[in-house]
Structure formats: C-alpha cells, structure tokens
C-alpha cells in the first residue's frame, strides 16, 4: 500500500449539491418565538423519510443529526448518495427501514434546506447573515415538533441522535415526553464540558476573526470566511477522533503525507488530512451555520448536577437507552453516566452501555462497532414494540444456558435463582447486581415485576440483556457509579458475586441503604469438602472442587457462612432469613450449615 492510502476515509460524508431524493420540506408561515425571546417570521424544515408509517402510526423513529450532518441520514437506494448513518439505517439494519418509518430533519440553523443564517429573511428579502438569531437546542426541537404534527404522527416510537443530535434527543424527551416512547441519546451529555466548549469557542473565533467574515454578511461577496471555517473544522475533527485512532491513521505515513490541499500545511500526514477535511468542509457548509449550531451546543444545559437531572427526569414516561464510547473524550462516558445515574434515581426505565472502542467520539458513525451499538439500538427498538417479549423467554434455552460459574460449571438449573425468586415478594421492584445475561431479571419480568434493573460490567452480557428487552446498566460495582436513593428498591439481589468484589463493605453498605430487602448468595468456603482440601490436602480450597484454580479465579474474596454473619453484625444488618444449599445434591441443608452447605442465601436489611 502506498504512503497515504486509506488516510482519507472518514465518518462524515460530504455530499454533492445534487437534489435530494425522497426529500421533502414544509414551511410554517406563522411567526415562531424562540427560546431567547427573538422571533423567526417563518420556518422551513427540510427532511427525509424512509420506510412506511404503519396503520397504527406507532413505528416512527426520529433521527437528529449532529453539527455537520443533514437530513440525508441514509441512501434511499443503491443509486442514491451515501447518507451519514448508512451503517445503522436501512433495510435489515439496526434501524430497520423495512420495519420502521424513519424521519430525519435538517436542523434549525443548519444550511441544508432548513431555515438558517443563509436563508432569505422574509423581512428584508436578503439572507439573514448576522441577523439570524441565537437559537438553542430547545428551538430546534420545537420546530421538529411542528414537523411531527405536520406529519400527523402522535407519538414517536423513538428519538435518537449522537453528539448535538443526542442533545436534541434529550430535549425531545424532556420537552415532549408524551410524544416519545423511547429515547436513545448517544455520545452526548446534558451540558458540554468546559473543555468541549473551549474547542467550539476557538472555532468560532477563527471564523469571526477571519477578515472575510465581514460580520457575517459575506454572502454577496466574492470571498467568505473559508479559512476560519476550515480551521474550526480542523479543530472539531481532532476532537472527534481518539489519540489511538489518530495514531493508527497517521503514524505509518507520519512525515510522508499524500498531498491534497496546498492551501494548508501539508508537511505531516495528519496535517495533510486535516487540511483536506477543512477545505472539503467549506464547500458544503456555511460559516454562520457553524457558529449558530456550535453556539447552540454550548448553550445547551439541562442541569449542572445529577440532582438537577433527577428533578428533570422525575416523572418522565419514556424508556431510555444511553450509550457512550470508552475512547470518546469530547463527550466522555462520565457525562452519559450522570444521565443514567439521574434516571435510575428518578426510577425511570433505563439501559446503558459504554461501548469499548478506540474510535473516539466518531465511533457512533463508524462501522467498527456497529455490532455492539447497532445491535443495542435494534434490540431496544424491538423491546419498545414488544418484539423482545418472545425473545426473553426463549433466551435461556437458545443461549445454551448459563455462563459457567464457580459453583455451576455444569448446573443449568441454577437452584439459587429458584430459591431467590421465591424470596422476592410479588411485584417488588428489584435491582440485580452483577446480573449476567439477565436470567433472573427475565424470570422476574415473566412473573410480572414491572420495575427491574440489572447492573453488569461485561459488555456482552449487557447487550444480551438489552436483547431480551431488560433494563440493564453497565457499571462496575466497585466504582459505586450508581449512587442510588435510600430504600429505592424493594429488593436488591447480589447473587454469587460477593466474592468477586473488592470493596465488599462499600457494596454491602450501599445495598443495605438502597434496598428495603437485600438478598445475598455466595459460595461457602466453610463447606466440608473445601475445608478438607485445605486441612487434609494442604491445597487452597478453590483448586479442585471448583471450576477455577487459585491463580486464575475471578474470586478475590474467600468467606464462610460464619464470616458473612459476623460482617452483617458489624454492619448492623438484620438477618431475616437464611438458606443453605448443597447444590450438588440439589437440597436444602438444615444442620451444621457452615459445614454442609456449599451455597448460602441470606435475606438482610439495615
């Protein structure tokens, strides 16, 4: 491969000026009052649709694009231009246009058909330019809601979008909760970090201080702020990639770039690429629009703290699925996790996955991780339509049973789950910590529990849970990501995971605070076979009877029934019930439990 090859594929696709296919627009001629008190006399919205609205009107999926996107989210057919999210939208894709009616509007303030700074101001007959008002994400969504009315759709199956599109999705859910069943905010946040704002500020300064900007009135001039806009785009582009993805893209050809644009420095591979991207961008984007949209992004602010968000989300009727990407440093996972934390504390239905990727913020536009984030979107949409119900019950047999576990290398019956199910009051709200692929949660849902939530660290298990239509949040119990409210759940389950937890006290204290009732099951190292191993054979108890060896077991805590009871005592927990099982024989043990049981199940509370 010659130097520079493959350097120039990119996530966002610049489109030629060809007329849009399957594209429509609608003009609202009454005056629109904007968030910050200004008015627009009329507003045109350009949008594209895919698929068919079904007779019930229940299958509409609304896609909000990011700063540089437009209404052309996907190609309509093979002859059509590529869309910016072809990877996720189309027949048989995650957002399956054979099943769903997809609508994607160009954003207010944009420059691809919807009213923006380059539109004609009906008052003056000239382009708005500097007279275009400051708009907010709220204004964008208000105009989109008008389009929704115009389309005669009562309620959307889901709203989704990434980055600025994710901010719109958040605003949709908060402003028009009754018009949206499901919300999928991707790689976004309730307010941009100061670091993220800083990059936007420098970009806007580059445009505004370009002498050809002429205070925004450049439309009738031969030149425009091309340099400033290109610089802004270059800065933005760096923030969309990760350090690692840039290394991969540019380090091979570091000082031997393919030279594509002579107007910018082309000495290094990364510079040649950015110059190309910047120059390409000014061909298709309006500088005033860039200022308008990046300013809206910076002004977006749903609340400064998780507490604020809890208040905002408190009666929200939507189902939520939040996604972030591990290497996204523009909208880092922590910002999505704050949204998720608030939704859990507000008792809302939420799932969350932090997709492991090195593609950075752009990951949501790229094919590399479509198997994870795309599958989650598809599964969540299916859950919203009820399609997941069938899968949930079938799952257990389909997937060939359970993940191997120290006590259940080949015991698919999961005796402890049956016992635990019996211990949970009918209809109770249940939090299942380290829920795995969701077997217990699925059984509870079958039994009619409405409020269940799983916490799980492994991405594969999280996806499996979403596939089954379950609410699941990816988190490490040791990080105490989820700072829940006192007595928020009727019941919290920690099934056979205590011994994998580093911060045992922290997790148990949290459970006792948050759950009215806590069910803890754990393998008992006081079991006679394990005692014998150490006592008679002089081997660590885990080698042999159990599935792992001492040096590779995920279990980092060793405890007996007696140890556990002593810790409960120290923590001031009340033991309401205890069950001891011999899982090999599949029986409950009643005598000398610390000797005769290999698994213990406790019901405790604070």
CB atoms within 10 A of CB 458: 13
Give least dist CB 146 to a second copy, A. 28
- Could you confirm whether 163 is annotated as catalytic? yes
- Collect all residues with Cβ–Cβ distance below 8 Å to 378 and sequence separation of at least 6: 93, 94, 95, 96
Measured CA to CA, the distance from residue 581 to residue 600 in angstroms comes to 6
Q: Of residues 573-602, which lie at the interface with a second copy (CB under 8 A)? A: 594-595
Measured CA to CA, the distance from residue 283 to residue 112 in angstroms comes to 12
Give least dist CB 70 to a second copy, A. 25
- When asked if residue 68 is in the footprint of a second copy (CB under 8 A), the reply is no
CB 7 within 8 A of CB 269: yes
Give least dist CB 262 to a second copy, A. 12
Measured CA to CA, the distance from residue 533 to residue 543 in angstroms comes to 8
CB 502 within 8 A of CB 515: no
Among 88-96, 139-147, 237-245, 416-424, the segment contacting a second copy (CB under 8 A)? 237-245
CA-wise closest residue to 105 among 138, 77, 135, 145: 145
- When asked if residue 463 is in the footprint of a second copy (CB under 8 A), the reply is no
Q: Of residues 299-358, which lie at the interface with a second copy (CB under 8 A)? A: 304, 329, 332
> What is the bridge-based pairing of β-strands 489-495 and 587-588?
unpaired
CA-wise closest residue to 8 among 317, 333, 369, 261: 261
- When asked if residue 151 is in the footprint of a second copy (CB under 8 A), the reply is no
- When asked if residue 246 is in the footprint of a second copy (CB under 8 A), the reply is yes
- Could you confirm whether 361 is annotated as catalytic? yes
Give least dist CB 51 to a second copy, A. 39
* 437: its two tokens: 């692929």
- When asked if residue 572 is in the footprint of a second copy (CB under 8 A), the reply is no
- When asked if residue 209 is in the footprint of a second copy (CB under 8 A), the reply is yes
Residue selected from 368, 370, 567, 606 as contacting a second copy according to rule CB under 8 A = 567
Nearer to a second copy, 71 or 292 (CB): 292
- Collect all residues with Cβ–Cβ distance below 8 Å to 515 and sequence separation of at least 6: 431, 487, 488, 489, 490, 491, 492, 605
Nearer to a second copy, 81 or 308 (CB): 308
* 1: its two tokens: 């491969």
Nearer to a second copy, 263 or 311 (CB): 263
- When asked if residue 260 is in the footprint of a second copy (CB under 8 A), the reply is no
CB 30 within 8 A of CB 43: no
Cα three-residue angle 117-119-120, rounded to 5 degrees: 120
- When asked if residue 458 is in the footprint of a second copy (CB under 8 A), the reply is no
> What is the bridge-based pairing of β-strands 452-456 and 515-523?
unpaired
- When asked if residue 522 is in the footprint of a second copy (CB under 8 A), the reply is no
Nearer to a second copy, 42 or 509 (CB): 509
Residue selected from 158, 231, 514, 581 as contacting a second copy according to rule CB under 8 A = 231
Residue selected from 6, 122, 314, 535 as contacting a second copy according to rule CB under 8 A = 535
- When asked if residue 247 is in the footprint of a second copy (CB under 8 A), the reply is yes
Among 153-161, 191-199, 316-324, 456-464, the segment contacting a second copy (CB under 8 A)? 191-199
- When asked if residue 542 is in the footprint of a second copy (CB under 8 A), the reply is yes
């Amino acid at each position: 491969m010659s130097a520079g090859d493959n350097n120039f594929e990119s996530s966002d696709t610049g489109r030629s000026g060809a007329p849009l296919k399957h594209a429509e627009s609608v003009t609202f001629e009454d005056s629109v009052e904007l968030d910050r008190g200004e008015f627009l006399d009329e507003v045109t919205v350009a949008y594209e649709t895919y698929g068919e609205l079904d007779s019930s009107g229940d299958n509409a999926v609304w896609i909000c694009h990011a700063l540089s996107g437009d209404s052309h989210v996907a190609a309509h057919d093979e002859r059509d231009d590529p869309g910016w999210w072809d990877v996720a939208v189309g027949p048989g894709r995650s957002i399956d246009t054979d099943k769903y009616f997809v609508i994607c509007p160009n954003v207010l303030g944009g420059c691809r058909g919807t009213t923006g700074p380059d539109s004609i101001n009906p008052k003056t007959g000239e382009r708005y330019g500097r007279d275009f008002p400051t708009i907010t994400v709220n204004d964008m969504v208000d105009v989109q809601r008008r389009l929704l009315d115009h389309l005669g759709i009562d309620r959307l199956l889901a709203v989704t979008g990434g980055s600025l599109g994710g901010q719109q999705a958040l605003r949709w859910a908060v402003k028009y909760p009754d018009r949206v069943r499901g919300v999928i905010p991707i790689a976004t946040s309730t307010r941009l970090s100061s670091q993220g704002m800083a990059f936007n500020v420098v970009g806007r300064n580059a445009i505004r201080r370009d002498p050809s900007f002429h205070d925004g009135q450049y439309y009738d001039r031969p030149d425009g702020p091309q340099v400033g806009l290109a610089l802004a785009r270059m800065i933005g582009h760096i923030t969309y990639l990760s350090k690692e993805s840039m290394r991969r893209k540019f380090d091979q050809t570091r000082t031997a770039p393919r030279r594509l644009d002579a107007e910018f420095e082309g000495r290094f591979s990364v510079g040649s690429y950015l110059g190309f991207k910047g120059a390409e961008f000014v061909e298709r984007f309006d500088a005033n629009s860039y200022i308008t949209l990046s300013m809206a992004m910076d002004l977006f602010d749903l609340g400064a703290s998780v507490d604020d968000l809890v208040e905002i989300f408190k009666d929200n009727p939507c189902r939520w699925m939040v996604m972030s990407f591990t290497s996204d440093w523009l909208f880092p996972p922590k910002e999505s996790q704050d949204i998720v934390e608030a939704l859990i504390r507000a008792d809302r239905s939420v799932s969350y996955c932090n997709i492991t990727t090195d593609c950075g913020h752009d990951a949501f536009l790229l094919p590399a991780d479509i198997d994870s984030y795309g599958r989650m979107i598809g599964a969540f949409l299916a859950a919203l339509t009820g399609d997941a119900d069938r899968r949930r019950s079938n799952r257990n047999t389909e997937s060939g049973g359970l993940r191997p576990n120290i006590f259940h290398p080949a015991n698919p019956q999961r005796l402890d789950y049956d016992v635990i199910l019996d211990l949970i009051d009918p209809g109770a709200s249940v939090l299942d910590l380290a829920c795995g692929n969701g077997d217990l949660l699925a059984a509870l849902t079958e039994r009619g529990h409405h409020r269940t939530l799983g916490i799980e660290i492994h991405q594969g298990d999280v996806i499996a849970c979403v596939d089954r239509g379950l609410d699941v949040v990816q988190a490490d119990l040791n990080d105490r990501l989820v700072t829940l409210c006192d007595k928020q759940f009727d019941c919290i389950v920690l099934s056979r995971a205590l011994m994998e937890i580093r911060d045992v006290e922290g997790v148990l204290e949290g459970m006792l605070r948050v759950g009215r009732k806590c069910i803890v099951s754990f393998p008992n190292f006081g079991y006679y076979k394990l005692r014998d191993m150490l006592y008679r054979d002089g081997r660590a108890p885990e080698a042999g009877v159990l599935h792992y060896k001492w040096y590779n077991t995920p279990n980092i805590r060793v405890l007996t029934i007696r140890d556990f009871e002593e810790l409960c005592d120290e923590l001031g927990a009340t033991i309401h019930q205890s069950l001891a099982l011999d899982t090999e024989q599949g029986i409950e043990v009643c005598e000398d439990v610390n000797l005769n049981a290999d698994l213990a199940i406790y019901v405790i509370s604070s």
